[in-house]
């Protein structure tokens, strides 16, 4: 398995697909990397030579923010929002959707599993 920036990329996939396993590299950036490095995008990752891998690693280091550096940058941005106490920061702090989605229903990914609250007593019980 070729290793780029501390991440094993899959052997049996085309290079253009394997590169998308890196955090911050999507299909468009992957195609651009293959073009800049002069690598055929359809060559399997296991068939890449050492100099090809070195060229890709150099391009990723110099021209793109990926993996650990990008994760750190995103975490710092969220921490900044929390510190200044803006609306988005408060939503991050409370674990609620940040981008204006409704929360009355359909926010289960951010809110977690349902917490059922006991209902009110029925009218019959009060008589």
Q: What whole-number distance in Å separates Cα of residue 114 and Cα of residue 127?
A: 32
List pLDDT tens digits, range 14-24: 999 999 999 99
List pLDDT tens digits, range 41-90: 999 988 989 999 999 999 999 999 998 999 999 999 999 999 999 999 99
Q: Which of left, alpha, beta for 42 (phi over 0: left; psi -120 to 50: alpha)?
A: alpha
Q: What whole-number distance in Å separates Cα of residue 21 and Cα of residue 11?
A: 12
Q: What whole-number distance in Å separates Cα of residue 66 and Cα of residue 47?
A: 24
Mean pLDDT, rounded, of the chain: 91
pLDDT over threshold 80, residue 123: no
User: For residue 121, what pLDDT band results from cuts at 50, 70 and 90?
Assistant: confident
pTM for the complete prediction?
A: 0.77
Distances (CA, A) of 25 to 9, 62, 83, 117: 12, 14, 29, 43
Q: What proportion of the chain, given as a percentage, has pLDDT over 70?
A: 95
């Amino acid at each position: 398995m070729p290793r780029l920036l501390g991440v094993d990329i899959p052997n049996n996939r085309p290079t253009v697909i394997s590169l998308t396993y890196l955090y911050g590299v999507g299909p468009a950036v992957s195609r651009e990397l293959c073009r800049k490095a002069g690598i055929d995008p359809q060559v399997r990752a296991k068939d890449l030579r050492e100099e090809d891998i070195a060229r890709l690693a150099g391009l990723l280091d110099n021209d793109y923010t990926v993996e650990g550096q990008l994760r750190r940058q995103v975490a710092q941005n969220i921490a900044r929002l929390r510190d200044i106490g803006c609306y988005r920061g408060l939503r991050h702090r409370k674990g609620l959707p940040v981008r204006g989605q409704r929360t009355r229903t359909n926010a289960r990914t951010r809110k977690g599993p349902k917490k059922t609250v006991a209902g009110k007593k029925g009218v019959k019980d009060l008589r």
